[in-house]
Amino acid sequence: MTNATNLLPSYQRFVNGVPVPLFSRRSFRPKEKYLIVLVFLTFSALCFGTFFLPDFRNTGGAYNSVYQVYQKIQKAGPDLLLPAPPHGYSGSKDSHGPGGNVNIIHIGLERPNNAEDEDIHIIEDKQKLQAKIDEEYQQQKTLEKPDTAVESRPRVSSSVAPWSPDNRHEEIIKTVPPAPVESLTLPDGEDKDPVARERRDKVKEMMLHGWKHYVRYAWGQNELRPLSMKGHTASIFGTSAMGATIVDALDTLYIMGLKEEFNESKAWIAKKLDFDINSEVSLFETNIRFLGSLLSCYALTGDVLFKEKARQLGERMLPAFETDTGIPHSLINLQTGASRNYAWASSGCSILSEIGTLHLEFAYLSDITGNPVFRSKVENVRKVLKSLEKPKGLYPNYINPRTGKWGQHHMSLGGLGDSFYEYLLKAWIQSGKEDIEAREMYDEAIAAVVKNMVRKSPSGLVYLMDLKFGRPEHKMGHLACFAGGMFSLGAKTKENQVANKYMEIAAGLTNTCHESYNKTQTKLGPEVFHFIEGNEARSLRSGEKYYILRPETFESYFVMWRLTKDPKYREWGWEAVQALEKHCRVPAGFTGLTNVYQLDSPKDDVQQSYFFAETLKYLYLLFSDDNLISLDDWVFNSEAHVLPIKGKPFYRAEPKS
């Protein structure tokens, strides 16, 4: 049975058995009445003062002092409200955005008796904070007008640190006309030799064949599956479609003079390329493919769109460096800033080739933005590596970012080690030969490599073996086939007896990689080849026989041709073009092979983004005149994106204030 009192409205109660409203006047005591009246009068006075009294800002005395303090708080406020460090940052440092250290300022709630003293304290606190911020970040450069039309998200302050998850103020770039900085154009690069011109045209046609089918079946996706005719995403790109092929191919399109395709891709980058990606990506691959290409396109065109996109990406990569030593992690979530290392990588270690393959991009990014933080991060990595004792003068492939000590002693110029050595040499070249430390570290490292890792087979093939815990492994990976070009580039920039010896090694390594191609039925090289049990430059295991459109051998052909003019390198390159056409070309693009020793090898159904960025670019330049991407003006990053040498016309650095 229902209680009768439950039927009463909820706003009633009983007084002496009689229901009355809950908010009856009888519920207010005299003191409560006075308080209500006081609040009402105060509110009325404030309203009257706001609309009818004179403007205190123009009067003197105490009113003026109070108002000035309020103004100071207003101006200081945005800078004092520091964003929390992104998830995944090291707890050992106070962080202001990615990579910055600041002292947190605690502002008391109680006001001092002297208002002017508080005014001074606020100003001093703000100045200390501003000086700390400016120390690493300086003022961020805005897009130059009238080159862009920018719709900005709300910004806190022009001096606020770069991106952090709680401070997203990236610009949405609508339109950017081409080459707004200055009129610099690449030469056509046609060779005088009609055979070379014909072969170059063929490479360009291959570029268009692979490109148009990517556009048709996988536009905006990371890569193309040419047999399935759909998009493909490798784990290095996380789980999101970032248009990796569009970005990676961009400077190749420009160098080949494919203006329509370049402009179409640039429009996609302006409207669609977004780094607010909530998934883990490889820091290394993001650097060499995305950041490298954006920087290359800025150098080639002067288009501020590419500089701004590069800045945005660089800022999102900075949290990976927030470790106890400053050695970056391998994986980073570009949205949250959380970073970590691969679980398989030698007890939580970072990888030598990955931490050592950031210098070219980060140094140039600092120069074109005027923000020194990027360069400081990679210089610290070098400092840590230089300070460590090297077993036999060699650099192991693993280093712990927490302790700064080497992991397992595995040394290689193939995967895990390769591009670290390349970037030491190229950092010196990129700096206009001013970075003496980089050259010294390269020379010392290569001398140790030659002594401990360069070997010659019974038939005279020169190869680079691996070392594991001091034990030799007489094998060489396809990834190490870049070393012919690296040895020759290092030798040509130093004329002495040692350089002559290194030039011989360069020629020998390039020849060995060609032999690994020549010994297969498809005339394309395997992933790994051995020098044991009478086998030379051949794979011995089924999991080593694949070819995934790799460029490293063609890179050495290109550099050796430019430096020696030996025609065999062009002939070897043409053999590769014919093999790619015969075995990797399919109606909707190009695909890798699972077994290069079978003429009818199954296909892997992936058109790698680096096939455009590296493989076809190196082959195209191999058959071009030397004035197209001259080695006197440019260096190639590990993804073959071209970065200018300091002091050359395309460098486009910000003038130092």
Q: Are 314 and 374 contacting, i.e. CB atoms less than 8 angstroms apart?
A: yes
CA 165/CA 157 separation, integer angstroms: 16
Sign of CA dihedral 597, 602, 607, 609: negative
Alpha carbon 615 to chain centroid distance? 21
CA 328/CA 339 separation, integer angstroms: 9
Q: Are 538 and 519 contacting, i.e. CB atoms less than 8 angstroms apart?
A: yes
State phi, psi for 19 to the nearest 5 degrees.
-70, 130
| 185 contacts: CB under 8 Å, gap ≥ 6 | none
| 423-454 b/e (C-beta count within 10 Å ≥ 16 → b) | bbbbbbbbbeeebebbbebbbebbebbeebbb
Q: DSSP characters for 387-426?
A: HSPPGGG---SEE-TTT--B-S-EE-SSTTTHHHHHHHHH
Token pair, residue 178, equals 């081409």
Give the DSSP H/E element, type plus range, for residue 136.
helix 115-136
| 3 state DSSP class of 13 | strand
Q: How many helices (H) and strands (E) does the chain have?
A: 20, 23
Token pair, residue 12, equals 């009633």
Q: Could you tell me which of 169, 158, 170, 162 has the C-alpha nearest to residue 95?
A: 162
Residues annotated as catalytic (active site), given as ranges: 527
Long-range CB pairs of 114-123 (<8 Å, 24+ gap) are 115/62, 115/65, 115/66, 115/69, 116/65, 118/69, 119/65, 119/68, 119/69, 119/72, 122/69, 122/72, 122/73, 122/76, 123/72, 123/76
Q: Could you tell me which of 556, 515, 555 has the C-alpha nearest to residue 539?
A: 515
